[in-house]
Amino acid sequence: MNKIFAVLAVLMPFLASGQSEKVVFGVKAGLNYNNIIVKGANLDIPLGQFNPALEGKEVKGTGGFNFDPLTSWYAGVTVDVPVKKWFHVQAELLYTVNAGKGAMAATLEDNPYIPGFPTSISRPEKLKLSYLQVPVLAKFYPVRNLPLMVGPYVGFGVSFRGKATEIPGAVEKNIHYMYKTMDFGFVGGAAYEFGFGLFVEARYVFGAMKTLRKHSTLREVEVPAGEGQYMKVDIKAYTADITGQNNSFQCGVGYRF
């Protein structure tokens, strides 16, 4: 509910301007080519889970998540408010899905307590992060029908899901505890507006905010244990030095009423 009120507070000045005949509303949708960046995590693995006699002892490590971009989607509504013939302000309300596929990887210290304990762990992962995004863009018309757009956006987290991709029977899990509920960044791009309402657009979304929480605990993470076997391990992740950003290239189509 708080997210809805926050979105309405941002959009209210533009919705109020809708009484003017000059204001143009629209809808749009398109593809999101995401690059989720996550690096710099500090990890602790409590050893008491393997042997009660080792309760209180831990193995430390460093790592992160290496993700390749995946194509997802976005869709929403727009409000275009003309200020001058060559300058408009455009507010948007978008549902945006950011996705990435890669691996959780970490290098561990030597473990003097358990002989043969792995010195590294790696687990293939797939992430799907969904946001309500509210961009407010300055829209310049250097030539007719070809606007250039730039401005900030605020994102409100809706759903954060993760799945181990190579573990038989693995299910998609809620990983909201890892991510902050807000995101912030900048948008820049261009569009072409046809005379009958249709438009196409291409733009880049740069996430300027660290999106991961400072401290996270991952419970029962399944990691490879050799010869196609997996074991469940509790991993404490201290993310004070971590970088997590949502960057994406978008291309889409829309219609202005």
Would you place residue 226 in the very low, low, confident or very high pLDDT band (cuts 50, 70, 90)? low
Proportion of the chain above pLDDT 90, given as a percent: 42
Of 250, 216, 252, nearest to 234 by C-alpha is 216
| CB 61 within 8 Å of CB 46 | no
Highest-confidence segment of 88-97, 113-122, 216-225, 244-253: 88-97
Cα separation of 38 and 187, whole Å?
Answer: 20
- The pLDDT of residue 6 is above 60: no
Q: Which residues pair with 121 in a beta bridge?
A: 106
> Domains (ranges, CATH) in the chain?
2-256 (2.40.160.20)
- pLDDT digit string (tens) for 229-247? 667 777 776 655 566 678 8
- pLDDT digit string (tens) for 65-118? 767 788 999 999 999 999 999 999 999 999 999 988 877 778 888 888 888 888
pLDDT, residue 19, reads 47
